[in-house]
Amino acid sequence: MSEKTKKDFSNHYLNPYFGGVLLGFVLILTFYITGRGLGASGAAKSTVVTTINSVAPGYAKESHYVSQFISDDEHPMNNWLVFEVLGVFAGAFLSGILYGRLKPKVEHSPKITSRKRLIVALIGGALFGFGSQVARGCTSGAALSGMAVLSFGGIITMMGIFGSAFLFSYIFRKNWI
């Protein structure tokens, strides 16, 4: 395919409902292949645990939270979620190439600057990371995978995440529209 004849797909996104159905199939496949559900915050947690364990092993051993993920037999990065996230990177990269969207950019509302968007996203991400550890999982690990196996915790997490999202989106809407 030459570049001239190629269609411009850069603003062409999948129907979100169809995307949701596809995600469901991915989840079924994941359960079938790995015996576990999907997750994302777990990979971030493993990275944080590994960093703490390398920089301050003494603290990592004493900390009640960090120490539960460290054992002599297995490296904290040797975790299915870490590899899954690597795969997500690779897949997203391929999708970006195929749809001609592969370029560095910060998406934000025209009313705010890239800088503000990044700072707000960092704060939001940190809060979500903390919340996901309190809730024992994030949107993928607790809500998506949890609800797929009819876990009550998954349903509560889902309601917590989306309920508070509705609430806070009203307060912070000026960052977007």
Q: Does the protein bind another protein through residue 92 (CB under 8 A)?
A: no
Which range touches another protein (CB under 8 A), out of 7-15, 24-32, 93-101, 130-138? 93-101
Smallest separation, CB 100 to another protein (Å): 7
* Member of 93, 130, 168, 176 binding another protein (CB under 8 A): 93
* Member of 9, 59, 65, 83 binding another protein (CB under 8 A): 83
Separation CA 60–CA 3 (nearest Å): 52
Burial of 81 (0-12, 13-18, 19+ CB in 10 A): buried
Vertex 54, ends 49 and 58: CA angle to 5°? 85
Q: Does the protein bind another protein through residue 2 (CB under 8 A)?
A: yes
The smaller minimum CB distance to another protein, of residues 40 and 135, is found at 40
Q: Does the protein bind another protein through residue 165 (CB under 8 A)?
A: no
Contacts (Cβ under 8 Å, ≥6 apart) of 112 = 120, 175
* Member of 14, 22, 90, 149 binding another protein (CB under 8 A): 90
* Contact by Cβ (8 Å): 158, 147: yes
Instruction: For tokens 């915790």, name the residue.
Output: 153
Q: Does the protein bind another protein through residue 94 (CB under 8 A)?
A: yes
* Contact by Cβ (8 Å): 114, 108: yes
**Single-letter amino acid code for the residue at 156:** I
Dihedral of the CA atoms 175, 125, 157, 71 (nearest 10)? Answer: 180
Smallest separation, CB 74 to another protein (Å): 10
Instruction: For tokens 């079938």, name the residue.
Output: 32
The smaller minimum CB distance to another protein, of residues 85 and 147, is found at 85
Mark 96-115 with x for binding to another protein (rule: CB under 8 A) and - for no binding.
-xx-x-x-------------
Q: Using CB under 8 A as the criterion, which residues of the chain lie in contact with another protein when the complex forms?
A: 1-3, 6, 78, 83, 86, 90, 93-94, 97-98, 100, 102
